[in-house]
Chain A
Amino acid sequence: MALAWLSRLFFVFLFLISQASFALIESEREELRQIPDWMPYQGCQETKLLKQCFKWTQEECEIMTERVSQSCLNMHDSQFRDPRTGNLDFWKDKIKDCTIRDVRAKMRGRIVDSMICRNKGVYP
């Protein structure tokens, strides 16, 4: 009987640990909210994917990336408040993927056909 209780407690303990490892702390959520501040400038440099894979100027790239990454962030905001949904890296990748996907949808017809763009899933 005692053994059964102990094993139950053990599983509850394991469950709590797994939850804690996924929960984002406030500073991590803040880091996610910073994405629209840096991503347009970093991603739209000549050597980066957003600039490389679409036919547009750096300024056009920055304006759209800022808008799209902000809307991706808003879309997922309630999800990354939920402690069961993933760690910081998971959410960073999610917001980056969402941004690229939405930019690609908006920029259809101005996509560059290169190996990098195919490889990264930008070119259809």
Chain B
Amino acid sequence: MKTRIAFCVLAFCTTAMASEPDVAAEIKKTLACHQSYLKSASPFYEVFEREGLTFGRGITTLPNTTPRRSALMLSMTDGDQIYTVTVPSPQSSSRGTIEYDFYGAPHVFKMVVPAKDGEKSFCVSYEPDMIDKDHIRKFEKSPPASCDSSQTIRAQTQTGKDAMMYLRTIQSRIHDNMRAMVYNANAYYNNPAKASRTERDAADRLAQFNGQKCQGLSYEGLFGASIDKQLAEMEKVRARAGTPAAPATTPSGTGGTGTGRR
């Protein structure tokens, strides 16, 4: 009986260990992909690098608020760690029964990020743009005194499955920008004579991009969206265009996402 119990405990521990994601490896792969994609990204690319941090902006809904109140959230990587910081809207006001918040206003705050050798402080002014690209007015490693009047927000260290979830904020920015590139490049090859400058530009960028370093990322969006699928779509567009395929960018077994809408 004791042997059986010991076996069950061992099996449980082994399964638990096996399902624990390798966050450091996934961060490394994501950053390598981001670096290789940077030169090919459109001007609307929203993965930012500042002061040694790489980050993407998310949005989070605060619990128990009616109407739902949202807050800005940054997912950041520093080395092999992932951190998040949630920043409430800078101000709110009521006019009659309608309450307004200022999500689109600059969020100014002092951000403290844990580090192996103490803490790092940053002075940040981040302005979400609800349609266009977000604006970073300020993001500097500075003496805390310069930011004393702002609220201090401590970044949370994320581990395990949570870390993977927050890393997806960055991966989804890469994915969405690639998706736009594929779509616009496809539109260019459908009708080069009538293509716009954006579409021509996307075709040029796609031709120069080698997606090798972006293969096998774990990102999964809605309806099975993945970076691997976008890479496969890029290969299809290249094949249609008759341009030589970039070496080894197509992972096997990926499906299409239907870029031929136009």
Range of interface residues on A (Cβ < 8 Å):
20 to 34
| Residue pair B261, A63 in contact (C-beta under 8 Å) | yes
Chain B positions within 8 Å of A34 at CB level? 196-198
Complex interface residues of chain B between 91 and 136 (CB less than 8 A to chain A): 92, 98-104, 128, 130-133
- A49 sits at the interface (CB 8 A): yes
Known contacts A63-B261, A115-B100; is-contact A43 B131 (Cβ 8 Å)? yes
- B244 sits at the interface (CB 8 A): no
- B190 sits at the interface (CB 8 A): no
Q: Is the interface of B mostly helix, strand, loop or mixed?
A: mixed
- B238 sits at the interface (CB 8 A): no
Q: With the chains together, A33 CA to B46 CA distance in Å? A: 22
| Residue pair A115, B70 in contact (C-beta under 8 Å) | yes
Looking at the assembled complex, report how far the CB atom of A104 sits from the nearest CB atom of chain B, in whole angstroms: 13
- A50 sits at the interface (CB 8 A): yes
Looking at the assembled complex, report how far the CB atom of A106 sits from the nearest CB atom of chain B, in whole angstroms: 17
Complex interface residues of chain A between 62 and 116 (CB less than 8 A to chain B): 63, 96, 100, 112-116
Identify the A interface with B (CB < 8 A). Answer: 30, 33-34, 37-39, 41-43, 45-50, 52, 57-58, 63, 96, 100, 112-120, 123
> Can you list 29 A-B pairs, Cβ within 8 angstroms, ordered by A?
A33-B196, A37-B196, A37-B198, A38-B44, A41-B176, A41-B183, A42-B44, A42-B132, A45-B172, A46-B58, A47-B57, A47-B128, A48-B131, A58-B222, A100-B131, A112-B68, A113-B67, A114-B67, A114-B69, A115-B69, A115-B70, A115-B92, A115-B103, A116-B103, A117-B67, A118-B98, A118-B99, A119-B102, A120-B104
